[in-house]
Amino acid sequence: MSSIRTFIAEDHAILREGLRALLVSNPDIEIIGEAENGRDAVQQICKLKPQLVLMDLSMSHTERDRSYQFD
């Protein structure tokens, strides 16, 4: 079984690090990238193509009322 390719987008470093620590303890999850703002997150998500994105919608450069869809 392949791991779930996961991306974390969170502007608070301590929370981002905590999520990473929690998730890497699960052998079915692979963290493939992280971003600290919405603009960088969207760019990296388009490039890396994760299966799961954990994204703080209230961080800088994020449009809260926008729905994100990545192909």
pLDDT score for 34: 97
How are the residues of the chain apportioned to helix, strand and coil, as percentages rounded to the nearest 5? 30, 25, 45
Average pLDDT, integer, range 40-60? 90
What is the pTM for the complete model shown? 0.84
Angle 18-19-24 from CA coordinates, rounded to 5°: 105
pLDDT score for 58: 81
Can you give the residue range of the structural domain that contains 16?
Answer: 4-55
pLDDT score for 57: 78
- Alpha carbon distance 5, 3 (integer Å): 6
pLDDT at 18 over 70: yes
* CATH (domain of 11): 3.40.50.2300
Q: Tokens 């493939």 sit at which residue?
A: 32
**Is residue 64 situated within a structural domain?**
no
Q: Work out the percent of the chain whose per-residue pLDDT is above 70.
A: 83
**Domain count along the chain:** 1
